[in-house]
Structure 1
Amino acid sequence: MFDLEREQVEEKIQAFCQKNELPEIQLQWSWIPFSGHWGISTSLFALAAAEVRQKQLKINVPQRASELAEQAAAFLGLPAGFEKVEAVKGYLNLYFTQAEYARCVVDAVHEQGKDYGRLPSQHEQVMVEFSQPNTHKAFHVGHLRSAILGDTLSRILDFGGYDVVRANYPGDMGMHVIKWLWCYMNFHAGEKPESDFTKWMGGLYAEANKRLEENPELEADVRALYVRWDQRDLEVVRLWEETREWSLQGFYELYKTLDIHFDRYYFNSQMEKPGKVIVNQLIEKKIAQDERPEGAVIVKIDEVLGLEKEKYRVFVVLRSDGTALYATEDLALAKQKFEDYPQLKRSLYIVDVRQSLHFSQVFKTMEIAGYPWASQCQHIPYELVSLPGNVVMASREGTVVLLEDLIREATQRAYDVVQQKNPDLSEAQKRATASAVGIGAIKYPMQARENAKIVTFDWESALDFNGQAAPYMQYAYVRAGSILRKAGGAILDSILPDYEMAPAEVELIDIISRFSREVERAAKEYRPIQVANYTYDLAKAFNNFYSHCPVLQVEEPVRKARLRLVMATRQALANSLILLGITAPEAM
């Protein structure tokens, strides 16, 4: 968008440089902050500096940049599509004509459709690892944020031109699994869940913890069972495989409901052996200290690096009895990812902020061990989800809100609203709309807060049709569709809105035009909140336009121009909602 206009200006600036025997440079353009007019700006400081060096001039660069900007502005005159050219302190500012800018934005949306806002290929592969639920435990609301943030970030990176690999790393082995197996073998042998797999399994996990807290002497039996697993005892392994599958089937169903998919699954049980190999290598290289059997295998990272001030602390990489820790497995996983994907440039981990020290230890240890890709690993931390009253989910105590229960309640609440607002819809339409609205209501709050801030989830704000919530944005999309249906068809021809546009009209066009810039920023900063806020701003601007700018009841050419703007808004809303993983319904 506006590439042609920019290229024409660049050609004239190059002609200006040739005429004045100035060095050739690559111009860098930026958008001028919107204040009623749209414009682009470029600095001539680099040109001035190059000329001063080339000609050995005795003049300071800022002064020369200002002179060149004034001369270039005079040389350019008023290029086609621009209403103003000015030189300001070494910068060349060009402002588009309002009507031409508006037409260009709206035309771009119509021509590009679902690809509007998509950035060109960055020729870079990025892996996003997210969700990482533990098998044999409840999948609760606390797990939701990693899944939602990871999915949205993957969508944004893909739309931003990156080759994205979506990875999941379920915790299918560890002390939590051994506790569950111990409880099952001793108190529930032979039982099978008939439905709600994750709920049933989460209940057994909470029961296991309660029994062990009441009878701490039984911990020895659990440790013995872990050793049996580590030695690949056939009975234990077979039971683990069967019950693990129960958990995974429950997870797959939830991902399907949430429209989340993965390209690659890793499991921590696969990482035990290769993790122990890496630990042995760390011992051989004198990076790790083996204090077994009295102690564990540890890496004193600060000491190895010669740091006087503690930063990384002591990193425990293997238990004293030789069984693996999460650290053991994470060392192997980091290595495995780059072996599986040799072109990988970045490996992102969407994991709870409480694991920040852990990942800094993992990445720094691999760097010390000589793995060149260690610096390409990055932890993207997020905060927890709490319910009103600061009730934070904890599957250990069983005080959890299960995700399937949350989805069920969200869908029912949304159905009640749809039934009230649009009772004439068919039952199938009501159900489909309720699902879209309910799941959108769950997803949006997870993204509308900074990653590092706690999300407090409550129904009143999540299902708000008049505030910063998914239903508000979905309803704006539906409202735009209603206007277009009443108009009786699409307006295909490009239209120059050469009338005095209303402020609400100008604001809406400006926000639509910013979409690709918001996507680019969100992709670079790993902040889905950029797109979440943008989508809300777009919906709010459209509702303001709807209130102040008649569409169907005005004369031509205003009617056609505004209809095309409504079409462009609807498409931009659809594209931004897709990045958030939220369905845009046809009716509400």
Structure 2
Amino acid sequence: MAACRFRRSIAAQLSHILEVPPENLIKSITAVPVSKKRLPIDFQLIVSSVLDTNSSSHSRSDVQLQTQKIAEKLKCDAVVTEISTGEGTVNFTINQELLTKTVLQKVREDGSQYGIKSELFSQLPKRKILVEFSSPNIAKKFHVGHLRSTIIGNFIANLKEAIGHHVTRINYLGDWGMQFGLLGAGFHRFGCEEKLKLNPLQHLFEVYVQVHKASEEDKNITELAQDFFRKLEARDEQAISLWQRFRDVSIEEYVQMYKRLGVHFDEYSGESLYQEQCQDVLKMLDMKGLLKKTKEGAGIVYLSEKGDQSTVMRSDGTSLYITRDLAAAIDRMNKCNPDTMIYVTDKSQSSHFQQLFRILKLLGYEWAERCQHVPFGRVQGMKTRKGDVVFLEDVLDEACSMTLERMASAKTSKELDNPLETAERIGLAAVIIQDFRGLLSSDYQFSWDHVLQSRGDTGVFMQYTHARLYSLEKMCGTVSQASHINTARLQDPQAVSLIKHLLRYDEILYRSSQDLQPKHIVSYLLTLSHLVAAAHKQLPVKGSVPELAEARICLFQAARSVLANGMKLLGIMPVNRM
């Protein structure tokens, strides 16, 4: 990684002055972001992070004094051409030709591993990670509520896999519980075999709506639903057969939806797999004296001395969502022994996961510390032109349709071999970038007007930038070896800004890997796209003398490579023409 070479060089000097191993200084030396001021510095040492004691005990003047002392002891060399100080920072300017050559060579050599082959990641031990995400309820069409879990979980899995961890992607289907008692009872009354064959999930959705409404007026239906669920838990042959049909048709339709989203799973699991193991969990809780009974006969666990409690068994002895989650967590740990188990669900389930992890600890499972809930906020205002959206396919169809319309009316659109596939990719990019721009835990307002804009901070603009760079390469050719280019030809302000931005990519990946927030990568790629647009305007390739054209095409080639890498991590497939 390009930045590593320079961090190592700076860390080696600092190591002698501070008497700290150089590897301990790497994370305190950061590349300076590109700004409108175009500061002539490339790296900074944040002095407070390397002081002996907690930086909070140091006054600003103390830190500044230490900063001056460190800077005075440092010397320029073949790598560092200038050393200065800022507020609490020692600043380093790198030999610009060396910086340019190193960045372009590393992007070329490392390919999809650029940014990952960094010392920031080399110290991290490789882990076994399970990521549970998406998890729709079977017998229901894929609701937009599951979109965020699906794309966020996919991003986390992509990123963890890219940096070298062994990742298992689990789709833990909601395929058990009282809802299936209601659906089973409802199908006997409102179901139609013909409709089930023609449009299975639409019909099951209609049946569920009908039976739910009927149950509010007729108590007998609720009793029939409870009876059907008891039969399911008792493995009644007819009940299981009907439930299995619901499960099979659901997965069949979901697989097609995941294909559109570019998402895959290593394992399709489900609550139903843990129906029997739930009884073992209840026995364990009972043996440890944790299972208490209410007057009505329900099973509860007290979570703290304050009296906080969690219900783990219904009064009729049937299991609950949390009971099945307990059984699933224990089973996964016994079988896979992962270092980390990540659950990606909306923030309304935060309390559920706090209870889940607390009960696991009460059972004596210390590995509960290795379980992590990644919560996310809700999307508001996701509507098509026809009105309210309920299903994800409506959102994807709308994104694709609106993209096709805009491509048809745009003067710059090219004739495409497969316009539908291109529109699908652009539409999905638009949805993902809008979703990932902010903090995951925040709710956000969805806006079709903004999401499909071809200018500004959108997925469409990002795709347009990639296609533009690809077109440039096709027209002007590519550079096979960055080592041969004349880097003195790339000292224009726009070229320098692009190089400095490419330099920071590993830090961005590292930050996202630490807090699992895609917004860092999104912000980086949008800035990269804007920098490319400025450079493309000011640094023409066509018509330039060969040596200059070669240097510029090498720069744009590097930008496209990093842009594509980042987009793929986010779950976006770059388009080459649009």
TM-score (normalised: structure 1)? 0.86
**Equivalent residue for 1:382?**
376
Using the TM superposition, name which of 164-173 and 94-103 deviates more.
94-103
**Equivalent residue for 1:352?**
346
1:238 Cα offset (Å) = 0.9
1:491 Cα offset (Å) = 5.5
Asked whether the 8 Å contact 1:148–1:446 carries over to 2, the reply is no
Give the letter aligned to residue 299 of structure 1.
Answer: V
Using the TM superposition, name which of 447-456 and 176-185 deviates more.
447-456
- From 330, 333, 342, give the equivalent of 2:328: 333
1:419 Cα offset (Å) = 2.8
1:347-389: CA deviation from partner (whole Å, max 9, x where unpaired): 1110111111111011011111110101111111111222258
**Equivalent residue for 1:278?**
281
**Equivalent residue for 1:226?**
229
1:408 Cα offset (Å) = 2.0
Do structure 1's residue 299 and structure 2's residue 293 form an aligned pair?
no
**Equivalent residue for 2:496?**
506
Give the letter aligned to residue 576 of structure 1.
Answer: G
**Equivalent residue for 1:165?**
168
Number of aligned pairs?
A: 555
For 1:47 and 1:354, the matched residues in 2 are separated by 41
For 1:195 and 1:515, the matched residues in 2 are separated by 49
**Equivalent residue for 1:184?**
187
- From 315, 320, 343, give the equivalent of 2:315: 320
1:76-119: CA deviation from partner (whole Å, max 9, x where unpaired): x3221221135779975432122321222122111112222224
For 1:448 and 1:170, the matched residues in 2 are separated by 28
Asked whether the 8 Å contact 1:84–1:94 carries over to 2, the reply is yes
For 2:413 and 2:531, the matched residues in 1 are separated by 28
For 2:357 and 2:20, the matched residues in 1 are separated by 45
- Assess, with a 3 A threshold, how the Cα gap between structure 1 residues 95 and 582 changes in structure 2: closer, same or farther: same
Asked whether the 8 Å contact 1:298–1:315 carries over to 2, the reply is yes
Q: What are the residue-to-residue correspondences of 1:73-88 with 2, within 5 Å?
A: 73=74, 77-86=75-84
**Equivalent residue for 1:58?**
none
- Assess, with a 3 A threshold, how the Cα gap between structure 1 residues 24 and 547 changes in structure 2: closer, same or farther: closer
Q: What are the residue-to-residue correspondences of 1:466-505 with 2, within 5 Å?
A: 466-490=455-479, 492-494=481-483, 495-498=485-488, 501-505=491-495
- Assess, with a 3 A threshold, how the Cα gap between structure 1 residues 323 and 504 changes in structure 2: closer, same or farther: same
Do structure 1's residue 559 and structure 2's residue 563 form an aligned pair?
no
- Assess, with a 3 A threshold, how the Cα gap between structure 1 residues 63 and 179 changes in structure 2: closer, same or farther: closer
For 2:576 and 2:194, the matched residues in 1 are separated by 45
- From 43, 55, 69, give the equivalent of 1:39: 43
- Assess, with a 3 A threshold, how the Cα gap between structure 1 residues 536 and 196 changes in structure 2: closer, same or farther: farther
**Equivalent residue for 2:240?**
237
**Equivalent residue for 1:115?**
113
Secondary structure of the residue aligned to 2:150 is: helix
**Equivalent residue for 1:52?**
none
Asked whether the 8 Å contact 1:465–1:472 carries over to 2, the reply is yes
1:164-204: CA deviation from partner (whole Å, max 9, x where unpaired): 22111001111222211111112225345344433332222
Give the letter aligned to residue 28 of structure 1.
Answer: L
What is the alpha-carbon root mean square deviation over aligned residues? 3.0
Asked whether the 8 Å contact 2:200–2:249 carries over to 1, the reply is yes
Do structure 1's residue 193 and structure 2's residue 175 form an aligned pair?
no
Asked whether the 8 Å contact 2:290–2:301 carries over to 1, the reply is yes
Do structure 1's residue 525 and structure 2's residue 526 form an aligned pair?
no
For 1:204 and 1:328, the matched residues in 2 are separated by 27
Asked whether the 8 Å contact 1:478–1:586 carries over to 2, the reply is yes
**Equivalent residue for 2:144?**
141
**Equivalent residue for 1:396?**
none
For 2:288 and 2:509, the matched residues in 1 are separated by 44
For 1:581 and 1:553, the matched residues in 2 are separated by 37
Using the TM superposition, name which of 442-451 and 31-40 deviates more.
31-40
For 2:148 and 2:453, the matched residues in 1 are separated by 20
**Equivalent residue for 1:363?**
357
Secondary structure of the residue aligned to 1:266 is: strand
1:158 Cα offset (Å) = 1.7
- Assess, with a 3 A threshold, how the Cα gap between structure 1 residues 291 and 451 changes in structure 2: closer, same or farther: same
**Equivalent residue for 2:56?**
none
1:205 Cα offset (Å) = 1.8
1:106-137: CA deviation from partner (whole Å, max 9, x where unpaired): 22111112222224563112211100100011
For 2:501 and 2:89, the matched residues in 1 are separated by 25
- Assess, with a 3 A threshold, how the Cα gap between structure 1 residues 418 and 197 changes in structure 2: closer, same or farther: farther
**Equivalent residue for 2:25?**
28
- From 96, 102, 108, give the equivalent of 1:98: 96
Asked whether the 8 Å contact 2:133–2:153 carries over to 1, the reply is yes
Secondary structure of the residue aligned to 2:464 is: helix
Asked whether the 8 Å contact 2:384–2:398 carries over to 1, the reply is no
Secondary structure of the residue aligned to 1:133 is: coil
For 1:226 and 1:38, the matched residues in 2 are separated by 65
1:285 Cα offset (Å) = 1.0
1:445 Cα offset (Å) = 2.1
1:329 Cα offset (Å) = 0.5
Give the letter aligned to residue 321 of structure 2.
Answer: Y
**Equivalent residue for 2:405?**
416
Identity of aligned residues (%): 26
Asked whether the 8 Å contact 1:78–1:85 carries over to 2, the reply is yes
Asked whether the 8 Å contact 1:41–1:91 carries over to 2, the reply is yes
Give the letter aligned to residue 561 of structure 1.
Answer: A
- Assess, with a 3 A threshold, how the Cα gap between structure 1 residues 186 and 46 changes in structure 2: closer, same or farther: closer
Q: What are the residue-to-residue correspondences of 1:387-406 with 2, within 5 Å?
A: 387=381, 401-406=390-395
Secondary structure of the residue aligned to 1:223 is: helix
Using the TM superposition, name which of 323-332 and 174-183 deviates more.
174-183
**Equivalent residue for 2:437?**
448
For 2:145 and 2:557, the matched residues in 1 are separated by 38
Do structure 1's residue 156 and structure 2's residue 159 form an aligned pair?
yes
For 1:365 and 1:48, the matched residues in 2 are separated by 40
For 2:474 and 2:516, the matched residues in 1 are separated by 38
Structure 2, unaligned runs of 5 or more: 34-38, 54-61
For 2:212 and 2:4, the matched residues in 1 are separated by 62
Asked whether the 8 Å contact 1:491–1:560 carries over to 2, the reply is no
1:207 Cα offset (Å) = 2.0
Q: What are the residue-to-residue correspondences of 1:8-23 with 2, within 5 Å?
A: 8=9
**Equivalent residue for 2:59?**
none
For 1:23 and 1:113, the matched residues in 2 are separated by 33
For 1:410 and 1:90, the matched residues in 2 are separated by 48
Using the TM superposition, name which of 485-494 and 459-468 deviates more.
485-494
Structure 1, unaligned runs of 5 or more: 50-60, 394-398
- Assess, with a 3 A threshold, how the Cα gap between structure 1 residues 483 and 218 changes in structure 2: closer, same or farther: same
Asked whether the 8 Å contact 2:17–2:70 carries over to 1, the reply is no
Asked whether the 8 Å contact 2:48–2:63 carries over to 1, the reply is no
Give the letter aligned to residue 541 of structure 2.
Answer: V
Secondary structure of the residue aligned to 2:418 is: helix
- Assess, with a 3 A threshold, how the Cα gap between structure 1 residues 172 and 81 changes in structure 2: closer, same or farther: same
1:405 Cα offset (Å) = 2.3
**Equivalent residue for 2:261?**
258
- Assess, with a 3 A threshold, how the Cα gap between structure 1 residues 192 and 536 changes in structure 2: closer, same or farther: same
For 1:449 and 1:7, the matched residues in 2 are separated by 33
Secondary structure of the residue aligned to 1:168 is: strand
Asked whether the 8 Å contact 1:45–1:65 carries over to 2, the reply is no
For 1:45 and 1:361, the matched residues in 2 are separated by 36
1:387-444: CA deviation from partner (whole Å, max 9, x where unpaired): 25899x9xxxxx7521122222222222222333366524x32122112112222332
1:216-238: CA deviation from partner (whole Å, max 9, x where unpaired): 44211111212222222111111
Secondary structure of the residue aligned to 1:193 is: helix
Give the letter aligned to residue 296 of structure 1.
Answer: A
1:16 Cα offset (Å) = 7.3
